[in-house]
Amino acid sequence: MLIKKPSDIRPSEITSEANYMNRRTFIRAGSIAGASILAAPAMAAVVPDQPRAKLQGVIESEFSTDETPTSYEDVTGYNNFYEFGTGKEDPARYAQEFDARPWSITVDGHAEKTGTFHFEDFIKPFDLEERIYRMRCVEAWSMVIPWVGISLADIVKHYQPTSKAKYVAFETLHDPVRMPGQRRRVLDWPYREGLTIAEATNPLAILAVGVYGETLPNQNGAPIRLVVPWKYGFKGIKSIVRMSFVEKQPDVSWRMAAANEYGFYANVNPEVDHPRWSQASERAIGAGLFAPRKPTLMFNGYGEQVAHLYDGLDLRKNF
Ligand code: MTE
């Protein structure tokens, strides 16, 4: 994502007017999906293993933005997922063969409950919620995405981290046969990310298992990925196989690749420029070529919910 300079952006990466027009169709599809959303709390999360299967028993979240979601086509066609190539259209093209089942997730480190769990068992104790979030990529583009996910705070509490656990570290599957992009050393595999315990237990953080009311497409990180809407998109690690409760700040992929460009915190901050571009504004994907850029908001507009997590921290040094 970061290796590209603006001059490298291919015309195919620029959203066409046709996409913009198509968006209306997807908004309609979205409101049909919305009809299956129930008000009552779900009993146990169940996620079918087929692609594009409707998710049942999804609760609406109080944290959703009322902004219009980006089209399904853009959300699932313009992606970063280096395990399937470095171009924006590569994941949609090359992740189709990927089979996200069977899947298991290992929980380890400083917690009362640890172990390796089948994906189905891992998600079962929790509610599924639709969270329509504003998302901001470090590359200065943004989307509004109707995720379906599970509160990460609920998941963390379930495993009962001990007082030694200061951070939660995540890892993506490392399997160059199933993820052919890992045959190239564009990153030090597996992809890694991490949050402080306070960040992981903030009500906004979720592990997503769906989008647009349906199971998560492979290119978006099937079967389960992190979503942290006040941070740059690269924190949203996809296809998670490990969640570790650790004492020390974990190594995270983009910081390992270029520590001067990508910090551990990665909070959306219009006041701190990326070394190669300004962070002050963003291009809304799908808004059309001539749409004006939007000003980027501190913490991506979620300051009321998360600014307190960083009290006393110099956000220029801790970028
Ligand atoms: N997770 C893994 N495993 N590999 C990746 O290359 N890219 C990150 C993040 N998660 C990435 C990843 C980046 S740079 C972004 S912007 C988001 O995924 C994009 O998520 P989306 O394609 O679902 O919008």
Separation of CA 91 and ligand 1 centre (Å):
10
Mean pLDDT computed over every residue of the chain = 89
Token pair, residue 265, equals: 């915190």
Separation of CA 236 and ligand 1 centre (Å):
6
User: Could you give the percent of the chain with pLDDT greater than 90?
Assistant: 85
What pTM was computed for the model?
Answer: 0.88
Q: What share of the chain is helix, strand, coil (3-state, %, to 5)?
A: 25, 25, 50
- For the chain, strand residue ranges (E) read 58-60, 104-109, 115-118, 128-136, 141-151, 167-172, 192-196, 206-211, 214-215, 225-227, 240-246, 281-284, 294-295
230-262, pLDDT tens digit by residue? 999 999 999 999 999 999 999 999 999 999 999
167-210, pLDDT tens digit by residue? 999 999 999 999 999 999 999 999 999 999 999 999 999 999 99
Q: Is the CB of 76 under 6 A from ligand 1?
A: no
Separation of CA 235 and ligand 1 centre (Å):
8
pLDDT at residue 114 in the model: 98
* Protein residue with its CA nearest to atom 14 in ligand 1: 234
Q: Is the CB of 186 under 6 A from ligand 1?
A: no
Rounded CA-CA distance 34/37 in Å is 5
Residue at 112: amino acid letter:
E
Domains and CATH numbers, the chain: 51-310 (3.90.420.10)
Rounded CA-CA distance 189/176 in Å is 10
Ligand 1 test: best mutation among 3, 137, 172, 238, most atoms within 8 Å of CB? Answer: 238
Atom number in ligand 1 closest to CA 79: 22
